[in-house]
Amino acid sequence: MRSPFDLTGRAAIVTGTNKGIGRAIALSLAEAGADVALAGRSAADETAEGVRALGRRAALIPADLGSAEPAGRIVEEALAAFGRLDILVNNAGIIRRADAVDFTEADWDAVIDTNLKGLFFLCQAAGRHMLGQGRGKIVNIASLLSFQGGIRVPGYAAAKSGVAGITRALANEWAGSGVNVNAIAPGYIATENTTALQADETRNRQILERIPAGRWGAPSDIGGAAVFLASSASDYVNGHILAVDGGWLGR
Protein backbone atom coordinates (compact mmCIF):
# COMPACT_ATOMS: atom_id res chain seq x y z
CA MET A 1 0.00 0.00 0.00
CA ARG A 2 1.13 3.54 -0.72
CA SER A 3 2.07 5.46 2.41
CA PRO A 4 -0.28 8.38 3.18
CA PHE A 5 2.86 10.53 3.45
CA ASP A 6 4.11 9.57 -0.03
CA LEU A 7 4.27 12.56 -2.40
CA THR A 8 5.55 10.65 -5.43
CA GLY A 9 4.31 12.20 -8.67
CA ARG A 10 3.18 15.44 -7.04
CA ALA A 11 4.51 18.93 -7.71
CA ALA A 12 5.04 21.75 -5.24
CA ILE A 13 5.87 25.44 -5.12
CA VAL A 14 7.89 26.55 -2.09
CA THR A 15 8.86 30.19 -1.56
CA GLY A 16 11.97 31.52 0.18
CA THR A 17 14.08 28.39 -0.19
CA ASN A 18 17.68 29.63 -0.33
CA LYS A 19 18.36 28.70 3.30
CA GLY A 20 16.89 27.73 6.67
CA ILE A 21 13.32 26.59 7.03
CA GLY A 22 12.46 27.07 3.35
CA ARG A 23 15.34 24.89 2.22
CA ALA A 24 14.44 22.20 4.76
CA ILE A 25 10.83 22.17 3.58
CA ALA A 26 11.81 21.91 -0.08
CA LEU A 27 14.21 19.03 0.63
CA SER A 28 11.68 17.25 2.85
CA LEU A 29 9.01 17.42 0.13
CA ALA A 30 11.51 16.12 -2.41
CA GLU A 31 12.56 13.28 -0.10
CA ALA A 32 8.88 12.34 0.16
CA GLY A 33 8.71 12.22 -3.66
CA ALA A 34 7.62 15.66 -4.88
CA ASP A 35 9.10 17.81 -7.64
CA VAL A 36 9.70 21.32 -6.32
CA ALA A 37 9.58 24.79 -7.86
CA LEU A 38 11.72 27.19 -5.81
CA ALA A 39 10.41 30.76 -5.91
CA GLY A 40 12.00 33.83 -4.37
CA ARG A 41 14.30 36.81 -4.67
CA SER A 42 17.45 35.04 -3.47
CA ALA A 43 19.06 32.35 -5.61
CA ALA A 44 18.31 28.85 -4.34
CA ASP A 45 20.81 26.95 -6.47
CA GLU A 46 22.09 24.82 -3.59
CA THR A 47 18.54 23.85 -2.66
CA ALA A 48 17.82 22.95 -6.29
CA GLU A 49 20.92 20.76 -6.33
CA GLY A 50 19.71 19.04 -3.18
CA VAL A 51 16.27 18.39 -4.67
CA ARG A 52 17.85 16.88 -7.79
CA ALA A 53 20.23 14.77 -5.70
CA LEU A 54 17.13 13.19 -4.18
CA GLY A 55 15.99 12.18 -7.65
CA ARG A 56 13.35 14.83 -8.08
CA ARG A 57 12.99 17.72 -10.51
CA ALA A 58 13.65 21.30 -9.42
CA ALA A 59 12.70 24.57 -11.11
CA LEU A 60 14.08 27.97 -10.11
CA ILE A 61 11.57 30.83 -10.37
CA PRO A 62 13.02 34.29 -9.59
CA ALA A 63 10.33 36.51 -8.09
CA ASP A 64 9.89 39.46 -5.73
CA LEU A 65 7.26 38.14 -3.36
CA GLY A 66 6.50 41.55 -1.88
CA SER A 67 3.64 42.25 -4.28
CA ALA A 68 0.68 40.57 -5.98
CA GLU A 69 2.22 40.86 -9.45
CA PRO A 70 4.32 37.66 -9.69
CA ALA A 71 1.74 35.25 -8.25
CA GLY A 72 0.14 34.21 -11.51
CA ARG A 73 3.50 33.90 -13.26
CA ILE A 74 4.91 31.67 -10.52
CA VAL A 75 2.00 29.27 -10.88
CA GLU A 76 2.26 29.30 -14.68
CA GLU A 77 6.01 28.58 -14.59
CA ALA A 78 5.56 25.73 -12.13
CA LEU A 79 2.85 24.21 -14.34
CA ALA A 80 5.09 24.62 -17.39
CA ALA A 81 7.97 22.88 -15.58
CA PHE A 82 6.04 19.96 -14.11
CA GLY A 83 2.68 19.80 -15.88
CA ARG A 84 0.81 19.89 -12.58
CA LEU A 85 0.55 21.68 -9.24
CA ASP A 86 -0.53 19.91 -6.06
CA ILE A 87 1.17 21.78 -3.21
CA LEU A 88 1.99 25.39 -2.30
CA VAL A 89 4.12 26.29 0.72
CA ASN A 90 4.28 30.03 1.46
CA ASN A 91 7.49 30.33 3.47
CA ALA A 92 9.06 33.62 2.30
CA GLY A 93 9.07 36.34 4.92
CA ILE A 94 11.02 39.23 6.43
CA ILE A 95 11.20 40.87 9.85
CA ARG A 96 12.02 44.46 10.89
CA ARG A 97 12.70 45.35 14.54
CA ALA A 98 12.05 48.72 16.18
CA ASP A 99 10.11 50.17 19.09
CA ALA A 100 6.48 50.63 18.08
CA VAL A 101 6.72 54.40 18.52
CA ASP A 102 9.61 54.50 16.02
CA PHE A 103 8.37 51.92 13.49
CA THR A 104 8.39 53.53 10.04
CA GLU A 105 5.82 53.32 7.29
CA ALA A 106 8.47 51.90 4.96
CA ASP A 107 9.23 49.05 7.36
CA TRP A 108 5.52 48.42 7.95
CA ASP A 109 4.82 48.22 4.22
CA ALA A 110 7.82 45.97 3.53
CA VAL A 111 6.81 43.45 6.22
CA ILE A 112 3.09 43.44 5.43
CA ASP A 113 3.64 43.26 1.67
CA THR A 114 5.99 40.28 1.82
CA ASN A 115 4.54 38.34 4.75
CA LEU A 116 0.85 38.90 4.09
CA LYS A 117 -0.01 40.53 0.77
CA GLY A 118 2.29 38.41 -1.39
CA LEU A 119 1.25 35.28 0.49
CA PHE A 120 -2.46 35.90 -0.09
CA PHE A 121 -2.15 36.51 -3.80
CA LEU A 122 -0.02 33.41 -4.30
CA CYS A 123 -2.67 31.43 -2.38
CA GLN A 124 -5.23 32.97 -4.72
CA ALA A 125 -3.35 32.10 -7.90
CA ALA A 126 -2.61 28.53 -6.78
CA GLY A 127 -6.11 28.20 -5.38
CA ARG A 128 -7.71 28.96 -8.73
CA HIS A 129 -5.81 26.07 -10.29
CA MET A 130 -6.39 23.70 -7.37
CA LEU A 131 -10.11 24.43 -7.21
CA GLY A 132 -10.33 23.70 -10.92
CA GLN A 133 -8.80 20.26 -10.44
CA GLY A 134 -10.71 19.55 -7.24
CA ARG A 135 -7.70 18.99 -4.98
CA GLY A 136 -4.63 20.69 -3.54
CA LYS A 137 -2.67 21.47 -0.41
CA ILE A 138 -1.68 24.96 0.72
CA VAL A 139 0.64 25.37 3.72
CA ASN A 140 1.36 28.85 5.03
CA ILE A 141 4.22 29.55 7.42
CA ALA A 142 2.80 31.45 10.36
CA SER A 143 4.67 32.10 13.64
CA LEU A 144 4.40 31.94 17.40
CA LEU A 145 3.52 35.61 16.90
CA SER A 146 0.32 34.46 15.23
CA PHE A 147 -0.66 33.75 18.88
CA GLN A 148 1.52 36.20 20.82
CA GLY A 149 2.42 39.86 20.46
CA GLY A 150 6.18 39.79 20.60
CA ILE A 151 8.37 42.79 21.42
CA ARG A 152 9.62 45.44 18.98
CA VAL A 153 8.12 43.63 15.96
CA PRO A 154 4.68 45.22 15.47
CA GLY A 155 4.62 44.75 11.70
CA TYR A 156 5.69 41.11 11.93
CA ALA A 157 3.16 40.32 14.68
CA ALA A 158 0.40 41.94 12.64
CA ALA A 159 1.40 40.11 9.46
CA LYS A 160 1.69 36.69 11.09
CA SER A 161 -1.62 37.15 12.88
CA GLY A 162 -3.01 37.94 9.45
CA VAL A 163 -1.51 34.74 8.05
CA ALA A 164 -3.48 32.76 10.63
CA GLY A 165 -6.64 34.63 9.66
CA ILE A 166 -6.16 34.14 5.93
CA THR A 167 -5.47 30.45 6.48
CA ARG A 168 -8.77 29.99 8.30
CA ALA A 169 -10.72 32.15 5.85
CA LEU A 170 -9.49 30.24 2.79
CA ALA A 171 -10.11 26.91 4.52
CA ASN A 172 -13.70 27.97 5.11
CA GLU A 173 -14.16 28.70 1.41
CA TRP A 174 -12.14 25.89 -0.16
CA ALA A 175 -12.28 22.83 2.14
CA GLY A 176 -15.50 21.61 0.56
CA SER A 177 -13.88 21.73 -2.88
CA GLY A 178 -10.95 19.47 -1.97
CA VAL A 179 -8.35 22.14 -1.21
CA ASN A 180 -6.78 21.99 2.26
CA VAL A 181 -5.39 25.24 3.64
CA ASN A 182 -3.37 25.04 6.86
CA ALA A 183 -0.36 26.71 8.46
CA ILE A 184 2.72 25.88 10.50
CA ALA A 185 3.82 28.13 13.37
CA PRO A 186 7.54 27.44 13.95
CA GLY A 187 8.97 27.95 17.40
CA TYR A 188 12.61 28.82 18.03
CA ILE A 189 14.46 27.16 15.16
CA ALA A 190 18.25 27.05 14.86
CA THR A 191 18.90 28.90 11.59
CA GLU A 192 21.12 31.74 10.40
CA ASN A 193 18.35 34.17 11.38
CA THR A 194 18.57 33.13 15.05
CA THR A 195 22.37 32.92 15.36
CA ALA A 196 22.56 36.06 17.48
CA LEU A 197 19.95 34.74 19.92
CA GLN A 198 21.73 31.41 20.25
CA ALA A 199 25.03 33.21 20.89
CA ASP A 200 23.51 35.42 23.62
CA GLU A 201 24.10 33.30 26.74
CA THR A 202 21.37 34.93 28.82
CA ARG A 203 18.72 35.01 26.11
CA ASN A 204 19.55 31.48 24.98
CA ARG A 205 19.14 30.19 28.54
CA GLN A 206 15.81 32.00 28.93
CA ILE A 207 14.52 30.50 25.69
CA LEU A 208 15.58 26.96 26.57
CA GLU A 209 14.04 27.24 30.04
CA ARG A 210 10.68 28.04 28.40
CA ILE A 211 10.79 25.12 25.91
CA PRO A 212 9.62 21.82 27.48
CA ALA A 213 11.58 19.85 24.87
CA GLY A 214 14.74 21.53 26.17
CA ARG A 215 16.27 22.29 22.78
CA TRP A 216 16.06 24.58 19.79
CA GLY A 217 14.16 23.16 16.85
CA ALA A 218 15.93 22.06 13.68
CA PRO A 219 14.73 23.16 10.23
CA SER A 220 13.98 19.50 9.50
CA ASP A 221 11.38 19.58 12.30
CA ILE A 222 9.41 22.03 10.15
CA GLY A 223 10.06 19.95 7.04
CA GLY A 224 8.36 16.94 8.58
CA ALA A 225 5.30 18.97 9.52
CA ALA A 226 5.13 20.35 5.98
CA VAL A 227 5.17 16.84 4.50
CA PHE A 228 2.27 15.89 6.76
CA LEU A 229 0.18 18.91 5.74
CA ALA A 230 1.07 18.44 2.05
CA SER A 231 0.17 14.74 2.01
CA SER A 232 -3.03 12.72 2.04
CA ALA A 233 -2.34 11.98 5.72
CA SER A 234 -3.89 15.41 6.47
CA ASP A 235 -6.91 15.22 4.18
CA TYR A 236 -9.30 16.03 7.05
CA VAL A 237 -7.17 18.84 8.48
CA ASN A 238 -8.49 22.26 7.49
CA GLY A 239 -7.81 25.78 8.76
CA HIS A 240 -5.39 24.55 11.44
CA ILE A 241 -2.33 26.41 12.71
CA LEU A 242 0.14 23.68 13.71
CA ALA A 243 2.65 24.93 16.28
CA VAL A 244 5.99 23.15 15.95
CA ASP A 245 7.60 24.70 18.99
CA GLY A 246 8.86 22.02 21.38
CA GLY A 247 5.93 22.86 23.68
CA TRP A 248 6.59 26.63 23.96
CA LEU A 249 2.93 27.62 23.74
CA GLY A 250 2.00 24.94 26.26
CA ARG A 251 3.90 26.86 28.95
**Which amino acids are annotated catalytic?**
156
Residue 23, SS3 per DSSP:
helix
Question: Nearest-CA neighbor of 91 among 114, 72, 111, 74?
Answer: 114
Contact assessment for residue 227 and residue 5, using Cβ atoms and an 8 Å cutoff: yes
Spatial neighbors of 226 by CB under 8 A, at least 6 apart, are: 25, 28, 29, 89, 139, 184
Question: Nearest-CA neighbor of 132 among 182, 79, 68?
Answer: 79
Spatial neighbors of 32 by CB under 8 A, at least 6 apart, are: 5, 6, 7, 8, 227, 230, 231
Residue 50, SS3 per DSSP:
helix
Residue 70 CB coordination number (10 Å) = 20
